[in-house]
């Protein structure tokens, strides 16, 4: 036998068993987003390279994006993130959109990173954004929706924490240390790596950026100061509003959170498992210039993105992924042979018209094998239609959980099935 052709490294196969979990996550996301008035949207998965260039940060565009020339010779990218597409679409319809906009989306993204636990090259992302409002209330709102999703899937603040900071506040602190304005982005990248690099490598990196020892020491001290947020009006307001929203317990200030993307301008935040075993579950913040940067009339935005991989790892760690049978079929109608094909499909048809989920076994194999198939799938009811049953105008209804079997006149079949299904679903 030839070798089976392989899948692409970093992609995932969703068999029905995995797909029900994917839908489980999507359904929670959908319900939570709707509860806060967010509307679902979707952008193209292919965008021009120009859309990302100089806006998403060099690492994402130059090192991680899948970029190629299409057959017409244009440089296109498989989207590595959604916010630039959001900015483009909002810019295009700015005049007709009724602000504030509350939009969410769940779709595939691609980044060429080394595949590892919690990281795939093709992954899904929940994006949720609020545009057209500059107030910290909006930052607090999107962050609170993130916490609502965690609650919805059963996580608590004992397992997950959302860490918050302000880019403006950090700008101010970094300026106080004596870093000139044109070095701020570089210093933010330095801050972003404080937990990713060893102490000595981090110090080297700081020196390479031109910081003197005094500045590095001051920066290092600043990154350990958990109370400085009280000096920021913006952060004070953020935490007050989050408190009003009833979700203060999910949040804490962390001066090390600056987020890697260049377009953030205000409040930034990220969620992690408390024990820091995994990568960030989600990250986001305010981006007040992005729509203007893609060529649109300026409009403020704030939002976050959550990948599908880490949140499911964390949920799994705490036993929160549900056991779900991908088979939702309620009834298997057996097939005896050529002479009874008509009856099997007629019965199935009638049951389906009564909103029941029904399979007909497609081949006239041994009855035992048909029943075994139903049993393995977890289909609770098998309807046997053989020559005996056809002669008598009845069908045989078998409940696989109990083995009970009885002959039912065709006329009362739907009612009988409903009774069985109700009795099986009650405890």
**Which of positions 22-81 make contact with a second copy (CB under 8 A)?**
22-23, 34-37, 39-48, 50-51, 66, 68-72, 74, 76, 78
Phi, psi of 366 (to 5 degrees): -55, 140
- Which residues is 284 bridged to in the sheet? 269, 304
Interacting residues with a second copy between 234 and 253 (CB under 8 A) = 240-241, 244-246
- Which residues is 76 bridged to in the sheet? 48, 68
Residues 6+ apart with CB under 8 A from 30: 40, 106
Q: Identify which range of 5-13, 195-203, 221-229, 383-391 contacts a second copy by CB under 8 A.
A: 5-13
Q: Indicate which single residue of 1, 227, 319, 426 sits in contact with a second copy (rule: CB under 8 A).
A: 1
51 vs 161, beta carbon nearer a second copy: 51
314 vs 379, beta carbon nearer a second copy: 379
CA distance 78 to 290: 20
Cβ burial 3-32 (10 Å sphere, 16+ → b, else e): eeeeeeebebeeeeeeebbeebbeebbbeb
> How far apart are CB 228 and a second copy at their closest, in Å?
23
Interacting residues with a second copy between 109 and 128 (CB under 8 A) = 110, 112, 121-122
Q: Indicate which single residue of 91, 143, 153, 162 sits in contact with a second copy (rule: CB under 8 A).
A: 91
Q: Identify which range of 6-14, 156-164, 189-197, 381-389 contacts a second copy by CB under 8 A.
A: 6-14
> How far apart are CB 126 and a second copy at their closest, in Å?
14
Q: Indicate which single residue of 61, 211, 358, 397 sits in contact with a second copy (rule: CB under 8 A).
A: 358
Sign of CA dihedral 369, 370, 375, 377: positive
Q: Indicate which single residue of 129, 141, 262, 270 sits in contact with a second copy (rule: CB under 8 A).
A: 141
> How far apart are CB 141 and a second copy at their closest, in Å?
6
Q: Identify which range of 99-107, 171-179, 263-271, 311-319 contacts a second copy by CB under 8 A.
A: 99-107
Interacting residues with a second copy between 171 and 210 (CB under 8 A) = none
Q: Indicate which single residue of 175, 342, 401, 419 sits in contact with a second copy (rule: CB under 8 A).
A: 342
166 vs 215, beta carbon nearer a second copy: 166
100 vs 260, beta carbon nearer a second copy: 100
Q: Identify which range of 18-26, 257-265, 306-314, 393-401 contacts a second copy by CB under 8 A.
A: 18-26
DSSP SS3 for 169: helix
Interacting residues with a second copy between 362 and 401 (CB under 8 A) = 362-364, 373, 376-377, 379
Q: Is 7 in the site for a second copy (CB under 8 A)?
A: yes
CA distance 302 to 290: 10
Using CA atoms, how far residue 46 sits from 12, 49, 52, 315, in Å, is 20, 9, 11, 31
DSSP 8-class letter at 80 = S
226 vs 352, beta carbon nearer a second copy: 352
> How far apart are CB 423 and a second copy at their closest, in Å?
22
Contact present, 228 and 127 (Cβ < 8 Å) = no
DSSP SS3 for 368: helix
> How far apart are CB 156 and a second copy at their closest, in Å?
16
Give the binding-site size for a second copy (rule: CB under 8 A): 100
Contact present, 130 and 142 (Cβ < 8 Å) = yes
Cβ burial 395-421 (10 Å sphere, 16+ → b, else e): bbbbbbeeeeeeebeeeebbeebeebb
Residues 6+ apart with CB under 8 A from 200: none
> How far apart are CB 271 and a second copy at their closest, in Å?
20
Q: Indicate which single residue of 164, 179, 360, 413 sits in contact with a second copy (rule: CB under 8 A).
A: 360
> How far apart are CB 48 and a second copy at their closest, in Å?
6
50: exposed, middle or buried (Cβ count in 10 Å: 0-12, 13-18, 19+): middle
Using CA atoms, how far residue 290 sits from 85, 282, 419, in Å, is 10, 20, 58
CA distance 185 to 162: 23
Q: Is 286 in the site for a second copy (CB under 8 A)?
A: no
CA distance 374 to 389: 20
Q: Is 98 in the site for a second copy (CB under 8 A)?
A: yes
Per-residue x/- marks for a second copy, 293-312, CB under 8 A?
Answer: -xxxx---------------
The strand pair at 46-48 and 75-78 is best described as antiparallel
């Amino acid at each position: 036998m030839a070798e089976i052709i392989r899948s692409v490294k970093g992609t995932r196969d969703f068999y029905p068993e995995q797909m029900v979990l994917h839908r489980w996550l999507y359904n929670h996301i959908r319900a939570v987003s709707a509860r806060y008035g967010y509307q679902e949207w979707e952008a193209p998965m292919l965008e021009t390279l120009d859309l990302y260039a100089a806006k998403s940060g060099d690492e994402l565009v130059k090192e991680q994006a899948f970029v190629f020339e299409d057959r017409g010779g244009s440089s296109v990218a498989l989207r590595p993130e959604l916010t630039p597409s959001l900015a483009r679409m909002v810019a295009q319809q700015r005049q007709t959109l009724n602000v504030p906009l509350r939009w969410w989306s769940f779709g595939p993204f691609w980044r060429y990173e080394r595949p590892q636990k919690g990281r795939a090259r093709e992954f899904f992302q929940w994006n949720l954004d609020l545009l057209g409002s500059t107030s910290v209330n909006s930052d607090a709102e999107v962050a609170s929706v993130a916490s609502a999703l965690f609650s919805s899937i059963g996580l608590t603040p004992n397992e997950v924490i959302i860490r918050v900071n302000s880019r403006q506040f950090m700008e101010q602190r970094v300026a106080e240390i004596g870093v000139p304005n044109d070095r701020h982005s570089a210093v933010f990248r330095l801050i972003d790596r404080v937990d990713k690099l060893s102490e000595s490598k981090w110090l080297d990196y700081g020196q390479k950026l031109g910081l003197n020892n005094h500045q590095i020491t001051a920066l290092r001290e600043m990154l350990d100061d958990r109370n400085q947020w009280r000096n920021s009006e913006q952060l004070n307001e953020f935490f007050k509003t989050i408190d009003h929203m009833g979700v203060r317990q999910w949040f804490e200030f962390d001066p090390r959170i600056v987020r890697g993307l260049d377009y953030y301008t205000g409040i930034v935040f990220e969620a992690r498992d408390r024990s820091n075993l995994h990568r960030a579950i989600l990250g986001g913040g305010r981006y007040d210039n992005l729509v203007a940067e893609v060529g649109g009339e300026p409009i403020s935005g704030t939002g976050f993105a959550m990948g599908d991989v880490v949140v499911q790892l964390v949920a799994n760690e705490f036993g929160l992924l549900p056991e779900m049978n991908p088979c939702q079929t309620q009834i298997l109608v057996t097939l005896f042979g050529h002479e009874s094909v008509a009856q099997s499909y007629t019965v199935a048809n009638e049951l389906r018209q009564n909103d029941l989920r029904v399979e007909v076994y497609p081949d006239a194999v041994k009855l035992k094998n048909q029943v075994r198939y139903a049993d393995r799938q977890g289909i609770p009811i098998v309807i046997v239609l053989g020559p005996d049953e056809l002669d008598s105008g009845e069908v045989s209804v078998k409940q696989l959980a109990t083995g009970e079997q009885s002959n039912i006149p065709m006329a009362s079949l739907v009612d009988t099935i409903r009774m069985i299904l109700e009795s099986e679903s009650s405890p």
